[in-house]
Amino acid sequence: MEVFVQQLINGLTLGSIYGLIAIGYTMVFGIIGMVNFAHGDVFMVGGFVALLFFMVMTSWLGLGLVPALLIVLVLGMIITGLWNWTIERVAYRPLRGSFRLAPLISAIGMSILLSNLIQVVQGPRNKPVPPMFTDVLPLFEKNGYTVGIGYKQIVIMIVTAVMLAIFWYVVQKTSLGRAQRACEQDQKMAALLGINVDRTISLTFVMGAAMAAVAGVMYIMYYGVVNFSDGFVPGVKAFTAAVLGGIGSLPGAVIGGLLIGLIETMWSAYFSIDYKDVAAFSLLAITLVFLPTGLFGRPEVEKV
Amino acid sequence: MTAPILKVEHLSMRFGGLLAVNDLSFEARRGEITALIGPNGAGKTTVFNCITGFYKPTEGMLTLSHDDGKSFLLERLPDYMINRKARVARTFQNIRLFQGMTVLENLLVAQHTPLMIASGWTVLGVLGVKSYKLREQAAVDKAIAWLERIGLVDRADDPAGDLPYGDQRRLEIARAMCTDPVLLCLDEPAAGLNPRESLELNALLRAIRDDYETSVLLIEHDMSVVMQISDHVVVLDYGIKISDGTPDDIRNDPKVIAAYLGVEDEEVAEVEAEVGA
Amino acid sequence: MATVSETSSAAARPPVDVARAFKDAAFAALVMLGLSIPILSFRSEQNMNNQLVLAERWDAVAIACALVFVARLAGAWLWRERVGAARSKPLTMPAFMKPLAGPAGLALVVVYPMLMLAINGPQGSIKWIDNFGIQILIYVMLGWGLNIVVGLAGLLDLGYVAFYAVGAYSYAIIATKVIPATYPDLGVWAFWICLPISGLLAALWGIILGFPVLRLRGDYLAIVTLAFGEIIRLVLINWVEFSNGYAGISTIPRPSFFGIPFNASDKGFAAVFGLEFSPIYRTIFLFYVILILALMTAWVTLRLRRLPVGRAWEALREDEIACRSLGINTTTTKLTAFSIGAMFGGFAGCFFAARQGFISPESFVFLESAQILAIVVLGGMGSLFGVVVSSILLVGGIEILRELDFLKSIFGPGFDPTQYRMLLFGLAMVLMMLWKPRGLISSREPSVIHKESRSISGSLVKEGHG
């Protein structure tokens, strides 16, 4: 029981990060039907942007931890958004509407390009940051085992919740969100009704990247380290989350992310830590085979 | 009176809350052309998809009988078996040719099952056994014979996607016929054809009925085609059968006229004129 | 941007709008500046206390922005005549060359080791035969194997490397554990015994993995195959008793010349044929083994394309629903494509293990799958010749970067060109897709002819849905 509650807390924290990345996959898939293979690496770039800004804020400008993190969050979202905007503009837009495999290959190329670019400009070693919010808030004690929630876990969950609320507002209540939903349904018709489809798609990439940047900040806060190769596995897991929730569904992505986080921590705690990635990948395969529309996806009727 | 080749009994198909076909029963008789007509959204294509195995009906029984007395319950067969075993072939409303393959290749893909057996499930074929080569030549000859029949033999080596629309429609019918069906289901074969092509189609369908012992079931909006070539017409509206009989019976059925036209008097007159033509 | 993208023909070259070109270039440079902060402008390094410290690199940012500005500006002039004309025209050979290209190319490949030997001598040519010849041929074979799955059947497989791994590990484990424990006398024949077994095991795995997933469509299939590829690799890492984990399996027996080992002993190849011992003989032999394996793949593919099963694969790629209406069992048809493709991956894996003498899970990462898929798509889906061209470009290109030591004299001794290998590889993938989204050779040759053979334009050929 104690272990279970502790792992529940850890799982939800990890799941928040996956959920934030999953939003980028699900939005892009929803609007242009493409798996943005490079999204995991965009998240990694977001992590590096956060790391570097954080160092500028703390060691150069001498800001306190909280103001530094807030500024890093905002700057990270902007810069990572610009990265994804450029990627879409350069590598995906010219291929829109052409051969179906071309954007996928281009995205895989972009993924290889991004991780190796970071390796070249920032070096191949792990980048550690000083630990922050190290205190733990004890919740209850049973059988000599203290269940606690770390301050950084609280911060991660609160920031995730706030970001999701803002994001939810943008998608549901603003004209940009309306334009996105219109483009999802029918791009030609949306264009005829005066929606700037190119701009809407670009903004979708920017928003997805901004969420990935938030995830990047949370990631270095949680693990205290980032590496150029950290994009792939969280990327695939976040994609699993998006699929599990039903690709194209935003609440699905978040809930899928939380589920993946929980499954990963529970698996590590109760079974074998070595096979935790195998568990995540197997879950992906099982979901796609038995529940291809995910938990919240729309069923697809085959048109004959 | 010939035995029905296809007997549809109490067929219902539900998509979520929508009842697309509701307790439909009708028969298609051997050696006849049966037309399934009705306004847009009446559930005609859904019926077709149930018969050809693309949808599993919510309820109902679809019995197909061969000449030799064998019969098949179509709703229980996997989709590819409906063509392979029950020998029902179909065409599609929006033509589904293999566009990047040549006209001849399209007709050879249709003869997949016999060629697969002749190639010893690929093993003998890879070894280049002579009996397979002979069988393949026979398949090519059969394809060419069909191309001559539909007047496309000169375009045998062109990609199917390069053909004009009307030719593509005829090629799709020829491709379905290459599977040697006992029942050929055509989904709007005259859609998009000009009057001359439409007449050619009528002749082709009659020839299929008379020369090949293939019965035809067709969905059609073009009343001139329906009235001229069908032996038997079934009318659907909102998933329910509202009329069933010879073209003459249908022409004079007030329920049919109302279904097609709503209740506006001048439109009734218009359609009566068209149907009467 | 409009000056570039809206040009439709090579003949009509619109004048360059100079003001606009400068504006675009300035904008691109500005974007580059944004991207450079902070990724390029600061470099994080560990100091003596293992703490990160920042180093500033504004000079690098300035260079990057200037490069982007110049490239964008140059693009406004250069692209103007390229776009449109180059895109619409597929690469074609002059008609008289077509029947000659195959035999001539093959002849060149057959004499390649001798040629290298003559030019570089026995010591210098190992690198050229092994790193270029054998390496490229392995990828040609893998590309041809995957081409059956992706190019013909239109099934997107991102986990092809799993079958390569199955083949490699089958050979490694049978040859190092099973054969010594049961029939040690057969040791010299290990490669020849295991080659068919590896292929069959890979095909079996193709069926096992393919059966549940082949009803998925499009990108979903791609992701599930990726997941399977990763699962197999992770199992190889973690199941240490079986595969020896990260450490991998070493001392894998090398292939023998049909029972005669390549060593310096009295019964070795050199002694038997009265030659002076040199490692080059084994390298040359391996070259011909992989050449024959690759040619076998191509021969089988060409044969299958003209059989009903091959036509059904292509029909499946074109329209799955029409296939079902014609009595084709799409599940078994997909499975045959998947397992035959996997089988060739298994053969290649067996060869790889035998050539390296050492394998570890590191050799079977996702990047390998991506590379093989890139070779197939870049070559042009379904085109055997295209796979050869793109293998030479991509694999040969990567290998040649290892040779560029002279760059050190230009950029200083700290410059390591191999560091940029994968960076350039990723960049090449993106650029080649932008240049030719349908691959180098996109047209399709018909599998059966009535009167005359006409190539089918790539724009009509579908890419498949699953």
Q: Which chains touch C (3 or more CB pairs under 8 A)?
A: A, B
Q: What are the backbone dihedrals phi and psi of residue B180, each rounded to the nearest 5 degrees, phi first?
A: 55, 60
* Nearest chain A residue (CA) to B93: A304
Give A3's pLDDT tier (boundaries 50, 70, 90). Answer: confident
Give the C window 298-327 contacts with B, CB below 8 Å. Answer: 300, 303-304, 307-309, 311-312, 314-315, 318-319, 321-327
Q: What percent of chain C has pLDDT over 70?
A: 88
How many domains, in total, are found in chain A? 1
Task: Find which of A69-83, A134-148, C390-404 is predicted with most confidence, using mean pLDDT.
Answer: A69-83
Stronger pLDDT, C220 or C165, i.e. the higher one: C165
Closest C-chain CA to B181 = C326
Q: What does DSSP say about strands A225-226 and B33-37: parallel, antiparallel, or unpaired? A: unpaired
Q: CA nearest B96: which of C346, C462, A286?
A: C462
In a domain, A247, yes or no: no
User: Average pLDDT, stretch B249-256?
Assistant: 81
What per-residue confidence (pLDDT) applies to C410? 67
Of the ranges A35-39, B272-276, C267-271, C324-328, which one carries the lowest mean pLDDT score? B272-276
Confidence bin at C10 (pLDDT 50/70/90): very low
As a three-state string, the secondary structure of chain A is CHHHHHHHHHHHHHHHHHHHHHHHHHHHHHHHCCCCCCHHHHHHHHHHHHHHHHHHHHHHCCCCHHHHHHHHHHHHHHHHHHHHHHHHHHHHHHHCCCCCHHHHHHHHHHHHHHHHHHHHHHCCCCEECCCCCCCEEEEEEECCEEEEEEHHHHHHHHHHHHHHHHHHHHHHHCHHHHHHHHHHHCHHHHHHCCCCHHHHHHHHHHHHHHHHHHHHHHHHHHHCEECCCCCHHHHHHHHHHHHHHCCCCHHHHHHHHHHHHHHHHHHHHHCCHHHHHHHHHHHHHHHHHHCCCCCCCCCCCCCC
Q: Which of A53-67, A88-102, B215-229, C89-103 has the lowest mean pLDDT?
A: C89-103
pLDDT band per the 50, 70, 90 thresholds, residue A205: very high
Whether the per-residue pLDDT at C334 is higher than 70: the answer is yes
* Opening angle at CA A43, ends A41 and A49, nearest 5: 105
Residue A295 falls within a domain, yes or no?
Answer: no
Per-residue pLDDT at B152: 87
Contact assessment for residue A51 and residue A220, using Cβ atoms and an 8 Å cutoff: yes
Please indicate if any CB of chain C lies within 8 Å of the CB of B94: no
Domain that holds residue A22: 2-122+135-228
Contact criterion met (CB < 8 Å) for B92 and A304: yes
- B-chain residues within 8 Å CB-CB of A304? 45, 49, 54, 92
pLDDT band at A46 (very low <50, low <70, confident <90, very high): very high
Confidence of residue C186 (pLDDT cuts 50, 70, 90): confident
Nearest residue in B to A303, CA atom = B54
User: To the nearest 10°, the Cα dihedral for C361, C364, C366, C369?
Assistant: -170
> Which residues, at least 6 apart from A160, have a Cβ–Cβ distance to it below 8 Å?
A16, A17, A19, A20, A214, A218
Classify residue A266: in a domain, yes or no.
Answer: no
Q: Does C454 contact chain B (CB < 8 Å)? A: yes
Separation in Å, CA B175 to CA A158, B180, B205, B212, C311: 62, 10, 14, 14, 14
pLDDT for residue A42: 96
- What is the mean predicted confidence (pLDDT) over B174-179? 91
For the ranges A181-185, A226-230, B259-263, which has the lowest average pLDDT? Answer: B259-263
- The overall average pLDDT reported for chain A is 87
Percent of chain C whose pLDDT exceeds 90:
21
Residue B26 bridge partners (DSSP): B8
Which residue of chain B has the CA closest to A302? B54
Spatial separation of the C-alpha atoms in residues C269 and C256, rounded to whole Å: 9
Looking at this protein, which amino acid is placed at residue B202? N
Which residue pairs from C422-426 have beta carbons closer than 8 angstroms and sit at least 24 positions apart in sequence? Answer: C422/A112, C422/A116, C422/C367, C423/A112, C423/A113, C423/A116, C423/A117, C423/A119, C423/A120, C424/C397, C425/A109, C425/A112, C425/A116, C425/C371, C425/C394, C425/C397, C425/C398, C426/A109, C426/A110, C426/A111, C426/A112, C426/A113, C426/A114, C426/A116
* Distance to chain B for A99, nearest Cα, Å: 14
- Mean pLDDT over the full length of chain C: 82
Chain C nearest CA to A115, separation (Å):
8
Whether residue C271 has pLDDT greater than 80? no
Cα separation, C310 vs C148, whole angstroms = 9
Lookup result for tokens 């059956």: C148
Tell me the pLDDT tens digit for each residue of A28-43. 988 888 888 899 999 9
For residues C47 and C165, the model is more confident at C165
* ipTM attached to this prediction: 0.87
CA distance C332 to C312: 11
Give B253's DSSP letter.
-
Q: Is residue A286 part of a domain?
A: no
| Of C149, C116, C151, residue with least CA distance to C336 | C149
Which residues fall within 8 angstroms of residue A57, CB to CB, at 6 or more apart?
A: A63, A67, A68, A71, A72
- Using 50, 70 and 90 to split pLDDT, how confident is the model at B240? confident
What is the nearest CA distance from C369 to chain B, expressed in angstroms? 27
- Residue A299 pLDDT level (bands cut at 50, 70, 90): low
C-alpha pair distances (Å), A238 with each of A18, A24, C219? 5, 9, 15
In a domain, A284, yes or no: no
Burial of B56 (0-12, 13-18, 19+ CB in 10 A): exposed
Whole-angstrom distance, CA of residue A235 vs CA of residue A43: 8
Q: How far apart are CA B84 and CA B79, in angstroms?
A: 9
B positions 20-59 inside 8 Å of C (CB): 52-54
Cα–Cα distance, A212 to A19 (Å, whole number): 9
Structural domains of chain B sorted by starting position, each given as residue range(s) with its CATH number in brackets: 1-87+182-277 (3.40.50.300), 95-179 (3.40.50.300)
> What pLDDT, on a 0 to 100 scale, did the predictor assign at position C85?
44
Q: Distance between CA atoms of A20 and A217, rounded to whole angstroms?
A: 11
A176 pLDDT band, cuts 50/70/90, is: confident
Check if the beta carbon of residue C145 is closer than 8 Å to that of residue C208: no
Report whether C342 contacts C161 (CB < 8 A): no
CA atoms within 13 A on the CB side of B20: 18
Q: Which residues in B lie closer than 8 A to residue C455 (C-beta atoms)?
A: none
From chain C, pick out residues whose CB is under 8 angstroms from the CB of B96.
Answer: 319, 321-322, 325
Distance to chain B for A182, nearest Cα, Å: 24
Chain C residues close to B84, C-beta within 8 Å = 327
Instruction: Sort out which chain C residues have CB atoms less than 8 A from B104's CB and list them.
Output: 446, 448-450
Please report how many Cα atoms fall inside a 13 Å half-sphere around the Cα of residue C415, on the Cβ side: 11
Which of C321, C327, C336 shows the shortest C-beta gap to B96?
A: C321
DSSP C160: T
How confident is the model at residue C168, as a pLDDT? 94
pLDDT digits (tens, 9 = 90+) for C65-118: 999 999 888 887 776 554 444 444 555 555 566 667 778 888 888 888 788 877
Q: Which of C42, C227, C433 sits opposite A109 (nearest CB)?
A: C433
Answer whether residue A32 is part of any domain: yes
DSSP string, C444-459: B--SS-SS---PBPTT
Q: What is the pLDDT of residue C336?
A: 93
Q: Which pair of tokens denotes residue B217?
A: 């079931």
Mutate to test the interface with C, among A281, A283, A287, A291 (most CBs of C within 10 A): A281
For residue C88, the model assigns a pLDDT of 47
pLDDT score for A39: 94
Chain centroid to Cα A256, Å, comes to 12
- Ranking A49-53, A173-177, C205-209, C278-282 by mean pLDDT, the lowest is C278-282
Question: Has residue A201 been placed in a domain?
Answer: yes
pLDDT in tens, B33-52: 898 888 877 788 888 889 88
Q: How far is C302 from chain A (nearest CA, A)?
A: 23
Instruction: Look at C42 and A113 and tell me if their CB atoms are within 8 Å.
Output: no
Residue A28 lies in a domain: yes
Give the model confidence (pLDDT) of C129-182 as tens digits.
Answer: 888 889 999 999 999 999 999 989 888 888 999 999 999 999 999 988 887 778
Instruction: State the pLDDT confidence band at C1, using cuts at 50, 70 and 90.
Output: very low
